[in-house]
Amino acid sequence: MPTRARERLLDTAEELFYAQGVRAVGVEQILTVSKVGRASFYRHFPGKDDLVVAVLERRDRRWREWLAERVAAHGGGPLAVFDALAERFARADFRGCAFINTMVEAADPAGAAHRVAAGHKDRVTGYVESLLTAAGHPRAAALAPQLVMLMDGAIVTALRERSAVPALRARAVAETLMGAAGEPAAP
Amino acid sequence: MPTRARERLLDTAEELFYAQGVRAVGVEQILTVSKVGRASFYRHFPGKDDLVVAVLERRDRRWREWLAERVAAHGGGPLAVFDALAERFARADFRGCAFINTMVEAADPAGAAHRVAAGHKDRVTGYVESLLTAAGHPRAAALAPQLVMLMDGAIVTALRERSAVPALRARAVAETLMGAAGEPAAP
DNA sequence: CCAAAACGGTACCGGTCGGTTCCGTTTGAG
DNA sequence: CTCAAACGGAACCGACCGGTACCGTTTTGG
């Protein structure tokens, strides 16, 4: 059975990749910070690229779990996703969406990292559609991609403005879009 | 007077940076493709970082000129910015917004590249606001940042979906947002 | 036509990249 | 307690990074 070296590598790599970018972080730095031996690293992963994919796959799972939890805490309506984003944007270490960042950094659209990132957004879109359906919205399938596009716009804008305001801006747009008087903002 | 070496460096660097990312393109490659000598490069630019800034500043100017031209060609209304984006997204070499990409790649928000990128978006927002004002929209100042956020969302989504459709999706959202029956789509 | 400036090519620098190999130590299950 | 598996550390590899120095050639303004 494996010890905890693999988890430490994933934890450290996820943090460093997100904070500095995948290309900017060398294997050396990951080993130093995680205190994992060089040999152990290559025992667990064929190479750096495979670590990147493993990190993204785990983050995909965890991020969507986090989103579902925060949406529930904010009332469970479709607009709650923007309240969740606002929380995210306010964190000091916020540096955009790891999957958008990956697609930007990994220029090759056929690369594994690109595929994982694209898959993540598909799953988020499916989740948003389920929220819309649960809320009884008639045009859920058409509205979900629009809301996800708003989320991505808010994320990019928040990265630029270094503020949580874009989440509220996107929420207001979404509210108008849904043609609803709007659920009340989360407490 | 300088010859054309500097321009060739800017042209080549802009193309390679956009296609592959700033970090992924080495000085070596820029010199090879542009057929500029190594010494000549460092006669024109103190270092790679300065070339990056020069490329971004020139692209900021040109991109906004291009936008204004295409908006005019599409009727000059605020919604025409999304028709312009649709054109952009359809190009085979489309790889997102060079300024968003730069902010993602250059993690340091205090860096020169980051500043240029942020400034670009501010200028675009000002331009969009002027379009809204010219169209007689009463809430131009409040609406402009929302439209720019929609533009950024469309750009990121187009990069992921490899399609021009997100531009139309964003246009539809903007139309709803402006509370207008909507100018007819551009010819 | 000639001199000065701009140029392209090359060798070289220290540093860092991702990746391989070996070796001695820690750890945990039987 | 034992012993094999998992581990951390370090030396090493070729390749490439951004940057410097010096070369002989081309271009151009006076």
Q: What residues contact residue B160 under an 8 Å CB cut-off, 6+ apart? A: A100, A103, A117, A118, A121
Report the C-alpha gap between A23 and B79 in whole angstroms: 37
Q: How far apart are CA B14 and CA B30, in angstroms?
A: 10
Q: Is the dihedral of CA A121, A112, A48, A46 positive or negative?
A: positive
Query: Contact B173/A173, CB-based, under 8 Å?
Result: yes
**Would you tell me how many other CB atoms lie within 10 Å of the CB of residue A27?**
16
Q: What are phi and psi of B46, to 5 degrees?
A: -60, -30
Query: Which ranges in chain B belong to alpha helices (H)?
Result: 5-20, 27-34, 38-44, 48-73, 80-90, 98-105, 112-134, 140-161, 165-177
The reported pLDDT for the residue numbered A2 is 55
**DSSP H helices in A35-111:** 38-44, 48-73, 80-90, 98-105
Closest nucleotide to B37 by C1' from CA = C8
Task: Give CA–CA dist A114/A56, Å, rounded.
Answer: 10
**Which residues of B lie closer than 8 Å to A, measured between beta carbons?**
19-21, 23-24, 95-96, 100-101, 103-105, 107, 109, 117-118, 121, 145-146, 148-154, 156-157, 159-160, 162, 166, 169-170, 172-173, 176-177
**Residue B185: DSSP 8-state:** P
Q: Is B2 helix (H, G, I), strand (E, B) or coil?
A: coil
- Two tokens at B98? 């060079």
Which tokens go with A106? 């990994």
Mutation target vs A (from B104, B125, B161; most A CBs, 10 A cutoff): B104
- C-alpha–C-alpha distance, residues A129 and A142, integer Å: 9
3-state DSSP assignment of residue A167: helix
Closest CA to A148 of A121, A178, A183: A121
Alpha carbons within 13 angstroms on the beta-carbon side of residue A146 total: 25
CA atoms within 13 A on the CB side of B184: 2
Q: Which of B114, B120, B15 is nearest to B7 (CA)?
A: B15
Which residues sit close to strand C, CB under 7 Å?
A: A 1, 3, 25-29, 38-39, 42, 47-49; B 1-6, 8, 35-40, 43-44
Q: Could you identify the residue written with the tokens 């898959």?
A: A119
DSSP A157: H
* Residue A179, pLDDT score: 81
Would the pTM of this model clear 0.85, i.e. be above it? yes
Residue A2 main-chain phi, psi, to 5 deg: -75, 150
CA A26, CA A102: separation in Å to the nearest integer? 16
Residue ranges for chain A with pLDDT beneath 70: 1-3, 180-187
pLDDT tens-digit series, residues A151-179? 999 999 999 999 999 999 999 999 999 98
Rounded alpha-carbon distances, angstroms, from residue B62 to A38, B48, B99, B154? 47, 21, 13, 20
Report pLDDT for B2: 55
Residues of chain B where predicted confidence (pLDDT) is lower than 70: 1-3, 180-187
Contacts of B156 in chain A (CB under 8 A): 100, 149, 152-153, 156
- State the amino acid at position A53 in one-letter form: V
According to the model, what pLDDT value does residue A77 have?
A: 97
| Residue B172 near residue B152 (C-beta atoms within 8 A) | no
Residues in chain A closer than 8 A to B103 (CB atoms)? 96, 159-160
Interchain contact, B19 vs A107, CB within 8 Å: yes
Helix axis angle, B140-161 relative to B165-177, nearest 10°?
Answer: 160
Q: Tell me what pLDDT residue B88 has.
A: 98
Q: Is there a contact between A104 and B109 if contact means CB atoms under 8 Å apart?
A: no
